[in-house]
Chains A and B, each alone.
Chain A
Amino acid sequence: MFSSIKIAMVIIMLAGAGGGFMYVKTLKSDLAISEANNAKLLDSVAEQKAVIEQQANDFKAILTANKELEEKNRILNKEFKALDERFNKINGKGEVRDIGKLAEERAKSVERIVNAATKKAMRCVEIAMGSPLTEKEINATKKSEINSECPSLANPNYVPY
């Protein structure tokens, strides 16, 4: 009777040890999986951080580009207005410019101005298509030196407005 209790206790202890062993084995396995998952998560966090950083940089770049575009648009609008005003300029006496009348009175002068402006406009097209600027164009800082048809394209050092 006493020996069968011993046997039963040994069996129970062995079963407990076996259960404990299995429990520890499972724990170790779970731990290894958790560690692997943790490593993956850390990698993922690092990747996410990099993505967020890249997005922040992209956003900054977009803001800068937008600012530059707004500035270019402002200058182009000014240039357009200046070109428009050239044909409708009001002088100090309040008289509106009449190119037709002027062409009748001083045909050669108007022809010379129009020809010069046409030449300048063609140069603007060349520059817009990728032609490099000349030294003269780069160094132009005075109104009389610039290409008045497209100063923002042709004369980077001219500050008109």
Chain B
Amino acid sequence: MSKVIKAIAEHLGVDESKVVPTAHLIDDLDADEFDIVEMTIAISKATGVTISEEDEANVQTVGDFIKLVEKENV
């Protein structure tokens, strides 16, 4: 979870305290659609988990990324 939060915070240049599971990537963290793709790559590199493009299309919040990583790690 911390790796996901760190990757998102680093990519968007925001404080980690703002990157909470309920935070909406576009509405709360001011990301755009390309940011989500770039963050998927960054998270994959940071966690070693591959996130499919289909799953990525449904990502809206920080929690969605965390769930995808945790699902693959289980």
Binding site for B on A (CB under 8 A): 86, 89, 91-93, 97, 99, 102, 105-106, 108-110, 112-113, 116, 142-144, 148
Q: Which residue of A lies closest to B26 (CB)?
A: A144
Contact of B53 among A89, A93, A109, A116 (CB under 8 A): A109
- The contact sample of 28 A-B pairs, CB cut-off 8 A, is A86-B32, A86-B34, A89-B35, A91-B13, A91-B35, A92-B9, A92-B10, A92-B14, A93-B13, A102-B34, A102-B37, A102-B38, A102-B41, A106-B40, A106-B41, A106-B53, A108-B53, A109-B37, A109-B40, A110-B37, A113-B33, A113-B37, A142-B24, A143-B27, A144-B24, A144-B26, A144-B27, A148-B32
Q: Does B11 touch A at the CB level, under 8 Å?
A: yes
B12 at the interface (CB under 8 A from A): yes
Looking at B33, B41, B56, which has the most chain A CB atoms within 10 Å of its CB? B33
B47 at interface by CB-CB < 8 Å = no
Return the contact of A116 from the options B14, B26, B33 (Cβ within 8 A): B33
* Size bracket, chain B contacts: 20 to 34
Q: In the bound complex, do residue A91 and residue B24 qualify as a contact, i.e. CB atoms below 8 Å apart?
A: no
Which A residues touch B27, using CB under 8 A?
Answer: 142-144
CB neighbours of B11 from chain A (8 A) = 91-93
Q: Whole-angstrom distance between the alpha carbons of A142 and B25 in the complex? A: 12
Question: CB-CB < 8 A to B60: which residues of A?
Answer: 144
Query: For the complex, what is the distance from the CA of A102 to the CA of B9, rounded to whole Å?
Result: 20
Which residue of A89, A108, A142, A144 contacts B34 across the interface (Cβ within 8 Å)? A89
B30 within 8 A of A: yes
